[in-house]
Every structure is written in C-alpha cells, then in structure tokens.
Amino acid sequence: MRPGTRVLFVGTPKSMESTVVAAGGYDFVPIPAAPLYRPVLSPRNAFFPYRLVKSLIRSYRRLEEFDPDIVVGTGGYVSFPVCLAAVLKGIRLVIQEQNALPGLANWILAHLADVVFVAFNSTVDSFPKHKCVVCGNPVRLAMKKSVSQVEARLHFFPKVESVGDSGVKVVLVLGGSLGAYTINIALLNLYYQMLMENENLFIIWQTGVESFNEMESLVRNHPHLMMRPFLRSMDMAYAASDLIVSRAGAMTCSEILATGKPSILIPSPNVAEGHQFKNAALMADLAGTRIINEDELDSTTLKVAIEEMLGDENQLAVMSERALKAAKPEASAEISKRILSLVNSSPRTLQG
C-alpha cells in the first residue's frame, strides 16, 4: 500500500471481521445490516425497505466523514448499502466477486460500478462483460512463502520422528473459522479407525471455534492427530498437507488452487444462493475436486473418499497440476494496481 493511503473497513457490528480488522491496525465502522431473507416473499422481509434505508443513511454519513476516492465492494447485504451510497455520492465503485456465480447484491451493483473484478472466466457471463477483469481472488501473502513439506509437518507434529518419512500422508480438515458440524461429526466417527489402520497417516483438524470444546471432549488423544479450534498458520497447514477436506467457500477454493492441493469439498447448503455448490462444481471442472454433498456425508463416505484419493498417487499428482494451472497467484497485485490506476485517473484526484 502506497504511503499516505487511508483505508476504512465497513461491516456488521460484532462480526469476526471487526476483530480481525482492528487487530490489523485498520479502522472499522459498523453498519446496521439489511439482510434479504429467502424466499424473497418471506414475512421476515416486511421491514427490509426500512432496514435498507437506515443502513443507506448511515453509510452515506460515514462516506461523507471519511471522503474516500474509491469504494470496493465484495458482495453481500453488508456491502450493498455502502456501495449504493458511494454511487449516490459520485464516488468511484469497484466490485470484487469472489464466487463462481454472483449473488443478488453484486449483480445489481455491477451495473453501477466502474470495474468488476471476477475470480473465474465463467463468471464474466453473469456481469456486463465490458466492465469485467478476470484476475482471481486475493490469497494471503504467506501462501507464497516457500516452505518445505517436511518443515511444515514438523511445525504441527514436532515430537513425531516419522512425520518426515516419504510414505507419510497428511489430511487437512477445514470447516471455516466457525466450523462445520456435519464435517466434524463425520470425522469424529472415523479418525481413530483410520489412524489405527494406517501408521503413515496424520490429520490436522480445524474444528472451528464453536465446536472445539465438544469435539475435544469426545476425541481420544493420538500422536498423529493435531486438533485446533482455529489455524493461524494456514500457510504451514497447506504446505504440510497432501489432501484438503473442506467447505467450498470462495477464498478456500482459491487457496486450494494457489497451493496446488487435491481436495474433497463438502459445500454448505446453508449459504445464500447456493454459492458453495457452484464453487465446488467449478473446482471439479478446473482441478478434478471430489464433491460430497451434505446429504450424502457420513463417516463411511468420507473415509472411502479419503482412502481412495490417498491411495492413488497418480491422481493426486494430476489434481495438483490442474489446480496450480488454474490458480491466479498474482490477484492481489493486479487488483491493487488497477484500483490505484482508477483512483489516479478520477476527476477528484486530478483536481486535487
């Protein structure tokens, strides 16, 4: 970020983002949410116009106080009033769509935005094509660090001498920061059997903050199992692993591609507009990702999928190669460069 640049993050009160942003040293402003429930004709949407106007007024006032040169929206009901307020104030707007297909908020805002950054080629068809730039999703800078797999494995299993052996396989299980209960239960019912049957298997398990205490009380200790509520060293976790088991959030999918990891994705049915199903389907096309729908998920289906994939070295190698080929590791730099170019060419900047 160039010297003198001021950044303000806007989100819902008491969200995880509010904590993370503050920890990063940036300013965060809470805006009252105006969610649009599904189905659209739900009685819960009766007060949607009131909530939207309230959020819009608050957003407009915040933008007047901060006076930004540009607003960047990443979708969802939180960003919609802020982005709409930016348009009403004549502030330049860019949209960054992280998912394979856009939600309603980004689809509407794209028609008002100056530029729309999309993660995948197929996403262009959902927006005004002349505004789209295909650049991928930004991934954390730590993912670009060159860390050996052995070094990464020792980070999680420092007391196990065999962790560096060539025949070792590490499975990384992710359910997002809050966890995925169905994935946790499926793994709970199979982890010990798999570890006992295969002495070369290791599991790194992110349970999510809300599920950790329950899972910890039910899990039997094993030297080849590392369980945490939240993984802060995600670069090390990816580097250590041979296979990822995860939900199909947009950023996780992009990190899987960037690190070239074979994966099993279990899309959440609770995400609005079926984003995760669409993300998972695209990952299957791009990288050969295995998909297990939640209504099919149990300890047996997950165990079979993991064992089949780990047992086929050629398949793992092909999936890794396809993932790396589909990745766009320079997304952050390209998006930043284009945003700064847009700011520098704006009438407000030229007049200043």
Encode pLDDT of 237-279 as tens digits. 999 999 999 999 999 999 999 999 999 999 998 887 789 999 9
296 and 345 co-located in one domain:
no
132 and 215 co-located in one domain:
no
71 and 184 co-located in one domain:
no
How far is residue 296 CA from its own chain's centroid? 23
181 and 317 co-located in one domain:
yes
Q: How far, CA to CA in Å, does 325 sit from each of 132, 243, 287, 347? A: 21, 17, 9, 39
Q: Is 171 part of a structural domain of the chain? A: yes
Higher pLDDT, 351 or 291: 291
Q: How many CB atoms lie within 10 A of CB 329?
A: 16
pLDDT of residue 177: 65
- Closest to 331 measured CA to CA, from 137, 131, 142: 137
- CA angle at residue 2 from 342 to 119, to 5 degrees? 50
165 and 222 co-located in one domain:
yes
Question: What is the length of the chain?
Answer: 352
Structure confidence at residue 146 as a pLDDT band (50, 70, 90): confident
pLDDT of residue 40: 81
Structure confidence at residue 12 as a pLDDT band (50, 70, 90): confident
**What are 64-91's pLDDT values in tens digits?**
999 999 999 998 888 999 999 999 999 9
168 and 67 co-located in one domain:
no
17 pLDDT higher than 80: no
Report the domain count for the chain.
Answer: 2
First-last CA distance in the chain: 20
Q: Is 24 part of a structural domain of the chain? A: yes
pLDDT of residue 63: 95
pLDDT of residue 79: 92
Structure confidence at residue 332 as a pLDDT band (50, 70, 90): very high
pLDDT of residue 4: 60
121 and 247 co-located in one domain:
no
CATH number of the CATH domain containing 26: 3.40.50.2000
What mean pLDDT value characterizes the chain?
91
- The range of the structural domain enclosing residue 60 comes to 8-137+330-351
Token pair belonging to 104:
């309603």
Higher pLDDT, 16 or 218: 218
**What are 157-180's pLDDT values in tens digits?**
999 999 999 899 999 999 766 668
207 and 125 co-located in one domain:
no
Q: Is 2 part of a structural domain of the chain? A: no
158 and 109 co-located in one domain:
no
- Is residue 179 within 8 Å of residue 207, measured between CB atoms? yes
